[in-house]
Amino acid sequence: MNEIMNLNPVLLIAVPIGLAMLVPILGLMSSKIVKWVPVVGFLFNSVVSLAVLPRVLNQPIIVKIAGFAPPFGINLVAGPVGMFLAALIAVSGFLVAVYSLDYIHEGAAEKYHILFLLLLSGATGVVLTGDIFNLFVFFEILCISSYALVAYLGNRSGIEAAVKYLIQGAIGSSLLLIGIGLLYGQFGTLNMADLAQNITSFSEPSVFVPMILMVTGLGIEAAIFPLNAWLPDAHSSAPSSISAVLSGIAIEVGLYAVIRVVFTICHVTGSFFVFLVAIAVVTVLIGEMSAFGQKNIKRMLAYSSIGQIGLILFAFSLATEFGVSGGLFQMLSHTLGKVLLFLSAGYMIYRTGSMEISSFEGVGKKMPWTALFFTIGTLSIIGLPPFAGFSSKFLIIKAALAKGDLLYILLMGIVLLGTVIEGTYFFRVVQVIYFKESNNKTEPEGPPVSGLISMSVFAILVVLIGLFPNAILKILTTAASELLNNLEYIRSVLG
Amino acid sequence: MSFLQNYAYYTGAFGLILIGLFIMMTKRNYIKIIIGLSILETGVNLFLIAVGYISGGTAPIFSRSGITAEKMVDPVPQALVLTAIVIGVAVLGMALALAIRLHKHFGTLNLLEIREQRW
Amino acid sequence: MSLEILLAIAYGGAFLTYFSGKISQGLRDGAAVLLSLGTVLIVSSFYNVPAASVLYEGFLGLSLVLRMNSLAWFFAIAIVSFNALCVIYSLAYMKDRNEKDYYYFMLLLINAAMLTIVLSGDLVTFFIAWEIMSWATFLLISYNRNGALQAGIKYIVLSLIGSMCMLIGILSVYTSFNTLNISELSGQLTTASAGYKLFLLIIFSITFGIKNAVMPLHTWLPDAYTESPTPFSAVLSGMLTRMGVYGFLVILFGIVGIKSVLTLGSGFISYTKTMAWLGAITIVIPTFIAMLQNDAKKLLAWHGIGQGGYMILGIAFGTSLGMAGGIFHTLNHAIYIVLLFLSVGAVEYSTSGIRDLNSLGGLFKKMPIAFLGGFLGISGLIGVPLTNGFVSKWLIYKTLILENAPFLAFAALLGTWGTILSVYKFLHNLYLGQIPEKHKNIKKTPLAMQVPIVILSFAIILFGIMPGLPLKVINSINVAFGFSPLDVNLWGVVSEAGTLNMLNIFTALIVFGAIVWGIFRISRPATLTDQYDNYAAGAAIPKDKYHYTVEYYAPFYRMVKPFLKDIFDLLYQKVARANDFLCDNIRKIYTGYVGNYVMYIVFFMAFLIFIQLKWSVF
């Protein structure tokens, strides 16, 4: 155990990338073995990240690549936030990989596994890196592999969605790069801690412009309104396991990067947060209202992700300890809930052969477990007790009310209105699944064991975290203080 | 006029960036949008190079005699640009590959006509 | 026996029942009945035994606590008893239905959640249980498919609005006072400003008003009651809806405190006056709407709304007499409305699902037990002396008189008149008159249906003649809330506005009844004649049987119909349609053309940079 705890966090990125390179070689030997590679990789990642997580709560681990000290070399910062998200990515990646064992059985499976490994190692890289250009590189790994995965099925909708996603994503990364270049030109450093140390006021145009460029660039991946037009297309056209990862992880990683720029590098204060809160509320409303009338289940889930991202951004923009820890908690519960929803919807779509919600009539009887998991995910996403979503929503509302400002209470009310809309359309789907009899008498069987295992683990996690939220509350509060207190971050990195 | 002379690289770089963005915003043909994208990327790369460039500077090699640090060009942006070019090529390759599939499915590259995914 | 074990049995029982259903049907039925009877026994063992325990230390920094006091006991015993009766009833009623495991699971889960609500000693536990109750109720309302789906959505939307309000209320209390324990809060809230108290009361009133179906938040109720499986309609109407009353009691008297409530506002524009008037409106309009219904369950559902108004009217004034009336009426209403639903359910069972009042009638001889239940049920609903409804209505009327509220008293009376008319229609169209041919050979009422009906009928008479039994418990609730206790004896109440002694009334009625019976004995006995042996002024006597039940109250119906539209329901439907329209159009911003999307990106960025460079707003 001790050996695992002392492992270098760089392995969390290196191992999946290395395995991704190994996949084609293994593919030559046997096609069966390939699909186990992501499972092994993310099992390793889960074990390592969960073992290291308690250690970083006391003291962040700073990894110097090639031995250069932080401002000069590239470094990894395995702080509470980074490790928390890395663990989340690793565990969900592992479970989705288990799900994919049987779910991905046609097409170029080998490429799927390579891209899947790359996507999640890119995500892990983004959350662990301490260097802003390095962040850009990992971001591109994440983005390019997700463009390819959206187009993986090669059908009309997939290609169309991938094209649109690529155009917007490419603009986003160019904007991000311009922002990085502007910052480097002024401060001569790429290290995030060093940048944070040098930036004294974010409202100077020389800092504000690069910040906005970066926020916009990253905001495209984070699906902040109005930069999120690619999301419903891409998430609904990808294979369900990929939609799960994109919705549950990729956009949250994007949001993490936005938050890192806003909180740590630029150390934003004051009225910019009011702007962010307003954007968040609009994102919630647009997302939930767009989801309301959807007939396509995956599109509905995708729009609901926009709403959830809005809620997370809302929590972060409160910029209090309660708010930030509530936001991180919401990230966790959204990942678990939304991945669960996409995975269970995946098999329902596969067995009924249609993405239309109306075609799910009678699924509750034919695939009882999948329907149950879907329902649990639904209740958690809406934020009903005793599931994980309740605790996070509870913390967020508490944080908003603790601000003591009437404005925040009103905005909170609008967000809760979004929740009511969300509840309505989700409960309609639950009704279709359970309480409508289907006309066709074919007997679709349940999902295979691998799918059941991965979905049930997600469902159990949703229930357990809902019942025992205190287990992770300490991690969240430490992480929140890391995000809010950038001096602490600078000191731990630069010494 | 002296502004343009002093900041010729920046002006050129941001000019390219704006041209690229304009093309991507207004053109309907996917290939043209890809061209816009690569113009945008070229602009960004040029901008990054310009950040580190010193007029009349030389390569930062300390072993050569008679060269002081003030006269050296910053090597970091050049390394960044190399990475950015590689990434740009990957995106471009991806985009062109998608263009082939797009044409196969829709028989057109006019994005105004390819609007099945909306609302 | 501690409270945790009680809850463990309640929740565990739900799961146990579900999984035993996977083994055998009989085992599941046995488990459901035994477990629900078991909870009745355990709860009754808590009589006059106050208890408190910590359920969960440190849930997000709060501790979830349970407590048992007289108020909790009163509601808890009612919840578990009605649940047990409905479970027994379901054995017969649900016999031929599918997915019974699911049905029993949800029924017991809802029961457990309601039990948690009344036992909760802090507002978080209250909220968690409230939400579990809400979504489980939604899942069970939808059980009947078809029309039930719409009813379920209606219910869950209103319920979600209510719970979001409650969440804001609870957390605002928490941020202000740093505790959510009900007993700790009651001391602290007295120091809060009047505006804050009013805010709290309004926000909680929305929540509990929705659950208790106070006008204008009642629209979920008629559909939900009608479309649920009948035993669950009984649970829904008996206790689940009245969780709203419980919530009002806790927030008004347990947390804010009656002294503060009474000082909010002055004259006509005060919180209590508004509540009372909403209660009065809730009595009158739904009762008259009920008269127009042709579906037996819908008729009862509208009465369910109307009777809820009496409870609000009782507790709104915050006098010990009114409190006793309101709380007692909650219990009484539960007894007779459950009884009536079970009676309708028996008819539904025997006629394989018919509950249309136009096509039934004359079932009196075929189903005497169900008739007994129906008869005593409507007597209670009207408030005929010697039934329980009389006592609680008497208490409420006395309160209104003492409080100098003649208009409210008139509204309450008007409600009673409407009730008399409409429940007579109910009784007549189901049980009296001539029996239609096709119902000549209907199924007999099974024993499992008869037992709950008989027990409840007995309870109506018992509490009608000896109101002192429940009033003693209610008195201790009153004392706990800081009201002066009423002078209660077994047969009635002694109060400044007059004395109620059911024993005297009982004796008087016995004597009167004996006289009437004697007169009937000595006069000429009635003879039965054939329908066609009749003089019809020379006109041809129709060969068909008469069927009086069709279009009952038709002239009246034509007269009042334009005035008794459920305008609020229409309004909400308009809002829902507007919402649909808005939602369908707002997503048109995702045009599908990439050029637009790029434009959004560039404009977003340019806008921010521009306003900062120009005005330095950030």
Assess whether pLDDT exceeds 60 at residue C142.
yes
User: Which candidate from A164, A168, A385 shows the least CB-CB separation from C132?
Assistant: A385
Q: Sign of the CA dihedral B51, B56, B58, B62?
A: negative
pLDDT band at B37 (very low <50, low <70, confident <90, very high): very high
pLDDT in tens, C270-325: 888 888 888 888 888 888 888 888 888 888 888 888 888 888 888 888 788 888 88
Cβ pair B37:A164 closer than 8 A: no
pLDDT in tens, C446-462: 888 888 889 888 888 88
Give chain B positions within 8 Å (CB) of C587: 119
pLDDT in tens, A351-388: 888 888 888 888 888 888 888 999 999 999 998 888 99
Cβ pair B24:C593 closer than 8 A: no
Within a domain: B116: no
3-state class (DSSP) for residue C219: coil
Task: Kindly report the nearest CA distance between residue C615 and chain B, in angstroms.
Answer: 23
Cβ pair B48:A190 closer than 8 A: no
pLDDT in tens, C9-56: 888 888 888 888 888 888 888 888 888 888 888 888 888 788 888 888
Give chain B positions within 8 Å (CB) of C597: none
pLDDT in tens, C506-530: 888 889 999 999 998 888 777 777 7
Assess whether pLDDT exceeds 70 at residue C120.
yes
Q: Which secondary structure element, helix H or strand E, spans residue C68, and what is its range? A: strand C62-68
pLDDT, residue C497, reads 67
Within a domain: B39: yes
Parent domain of B17: 2-59+66-106
Q: Which of A282-291, B101-110, C192-201, C549-558 has the lowest mean pLDDT?
A: C549-558
Cβ pair C588:B119 closer than 8 A: yes
Half-sphere exposure of A51 (CA within 13 A, CB side): 16
From the number of C-beta atoms within 10 Å of its C-beta (0-12, 13-18, 19+), residue C78 rates as: buried
Please tell me the distance from the alpha carbon of residue C517 to that of residue C536, in angstroms, as a whole number: 32
User: Which candidate from A163, A178, A237 shows the least CB-CB separation from B98?
Assistant: A163
What burial letters (b/e) apply to A242-264, b meaning 16+ CB within 10 Å? bbbbbbbbbbbbbbbbbbbbbbb
A vs C, Cβ pairs < 8 A, gives: 162
Judge whether A208 is closer than 8 Å to chain C, CB to CB.
Answer: yes
Judge whether A156 is closer than 8 Å to chain B, CB to CB.
Answer: yes
Mutate to test the interface with A, among C55, C131, C200, C572 (most CBs of A within 10 A): C131
Assess whether pLDDT exceeds 60 at residue B1.
no
Query: What's the Cα-to-Cα distance from A24 to each of A20, A21, A93, B56, rounded to whole Å?
Result: 8, 7, 20, 48
pLDDT, residue C316, reads 84
Judge whether A419 is closer than 8 Å to chain C, CB to CB.
Answer: yes
Assess whether pLDDT exceeds 80 at residue C535.
no
DSSP state of C545: P
pLDDT band at B2 (very low <50, low <70, confident <90, very high): low
User: Which candidate from A147, A148, A185 shows the least CB-CB separation from B51?
Assistant: A185
Cβ pair A170:B106 closer than 8 A: no
Within a domain: A106: no
pLDDT, residue A87, reads 92
Instruction: Quickly count: other Cβ atoms within 10 Å of residue C349's Cβ.
Output: 24
Judge whether A174 is closer than 8 Å to chain C, CB to CB.
Answer: no
A vs B, Cβ pairs < 8 A, gives: 95
Judge whether A293 is closer than 8 Å to chain C, CB to CB.
Answer: yes
Parent domain of A421: 279-487
Judge whether C580 is closer than 8 Å to chain A, CB to CB.
Answer: yes
Total residue count of chain B as it appears in this document: 119
Mean per-residue pLDDT, B77-83 = 89
User: Which candidate from C587, C592, C598 shows the least CB-CB separation from B25?
Assistant: C598
pLDDT, residue A5, reads 67
List all chains that touch chain C, counting a touch as 3 or more CB pairs closer than 8 Å: A, B
Q: How are beta strands C487-489 and C492-495 bridged, if at all? A: antiparallel
User: Which candidate from C592, C599, C602 shows the least CB-CB separation from B118?
Assistant: C592
pLDDT band at C545 (very low <50, low <70, confident <90, very high): low
Within a domain: A353: yes
B vs C, Cβ pairs < 8 A, gives: 29
Cβ pair B111:C595 closer than 8 A: yes
Q: Which of A110, A113, A139, A143 is nearest to A124 (CA)?
A: A139
Give chain A positions within 8 Å (CB) of B110: none
The CATH number that applies at residue B14 is 1.10.287.3510
* Closest A-chain CA to B21: A171
Within a domain: A366: yes
Give chain B positions within 8 Å (CB) of A236: 117
* Percent of chain C predicted with pLDDT > 90: 3
> Which residues make beta-bridge pairs with C59?
C62
Cβ pair C600:A171 closer than 8 A: no
List all chains that touch chain A, counting a touch as 3 or more CB pairs closer than 8 Å: B, C
- Residue spans of the domains in chain C: they are 267-489+497-522, 567-615
User: Which candidate from A137, A174, A237 shows the least CB-CB separation from B41?
Assistant: A174
What burial letters (b/e) apply to B61-98, b meaning 16+ CB within 10 Å? eeeeeeeeeeebbbebbeebbebbeebbebbbebbeeb
| Residue A85 neighbours by CB under 8 Å, 6+ apart | A127, A252, A253, A256, A331
User: Which candidate from B26, B118, B119 shows the least CB-CB separation from C595?
Assistant: B26
Mean per-residue pLDDT, C366-392 = 86
DSSP string, chain B: -HHHHHTHHHHHHHHHHHHHHHHHHH--BHHHHHHHHHHHHHHHHHHHHHHH--TT-B---TTSTT--GGGBPPHHHHHHHHHHHHHHHHHHHHHHHHHHHHHHHHS--BTTT---S--
Query: What's the Cα-to-Cα distance from B11 to each of A202, B7, C259, C342, rounded to whole Å?
Result: 24, 6, 74, 84
Give chain C positions within 8 Å (CB) of B21: 598, 602
* Closest C-chain CA to A437: C145
* Percent of chain C predicted with pLDDT > 70: 97
Mean per-residue pLDDT, C475-495 = 79
pLDDT, residue C25, reads 84
Give chain C positions within 8 Å (CB) of B95: none
> Which residues make beta-bridge pairs with A61?
A78
Cβ pair A431:C153 closer than 8 A: yes
Within a domain: B46: yes
Taking only residues 19 to 78 of chain C, the set having a beta carbon closer than 8 angstroms to any beta carbon of chain A reads 58-61
Task: Kindly report the nearest CA distance between residue C370 and chain A, in angstroms.
Answer: 31
Give chain A positions within 8 Å (CB) of B81: none
Mutate to test the interface with B, among A149, A167, A298 (most CBs of B within 10 A): A167
Question: Where are the extended beta strands (E) located within C453-556?
Answer: 487-489, 492-495, 498-501
pLDDT band at B7 (very low <50, low <70, confident <90, very high): confident
Q: Which of B24-38, C160-174, C253-267, C511-525 has the lowest mean pLDDT?
A: C253-267
Give chain A positions within 8 Å (CB) of C138: 427
Q: Note whether B51 and A183 are within 8 A (CB).
A: no
pTM attached to this predicted model: 0.92
Q: Which of C248, C222, C215 is nearest to C236 (CA)?
A: C222
Taking only residues 10 to 39 of chain B, the set having a beta carbon closer than 8 angstroms to any beta carbon of chain A reads 17, 20-21, 24, 30, 33, 37
Q: Which of A461, A434, A438 is nearest to A340 (CA)?
A: A461
User: Which candidate from B83, B116, B119 shows the least CB-CB separation from A160?
Assistant: B116
Question: pLDDT below 70 — which residues of chain A?
Answer: 1-2, 4-5, 440-444
Assess whether pLDDT exceeds 90 at residue B39.
yes
Q: Which secondary structure element, helix H or strand E, spans residue C65, and what is its range? A: strand C62-68
Q: Give the count of domains, chain A.
A: 1
Assess whether pLDDT exceeds 60 at residue B33.
yes
Taking only residues 9 to 28 of chain B, the set having a beta carbon closer than 8 angstroms to any beta carbon of chain C reads 21, 24-28
pLDDT, residue C463, reads 86
Half-sphere exposure of A375 (CA within 13 A, CB side): 18
Within a domain: A416: yes
Q: Provide the CA C245 distance to its chain's centre, in angstroms.
A: 9
Q: Note whether C234 and C87 are within 8 A (CB).
A: no
Please tell me the distance from the alpha carbon of residue C14 to that of residue C1, in angstroms, as a whole number: 19
Judge whether C156 is closer than 8 Å to chain A, CB to CB.
Answer: yes
Give chain A positions within 8 Å (CB) of B40: 170-171, 174
Which amino acid is residue C445, in one-letter code? T
* Closest A-chain CA to C127: A385
Q: Give the count of domains, chain B.
A: 1
Task: Kindly report the nearest CA distance between residue B105 and chain C, in angstroms.
Answer: 17
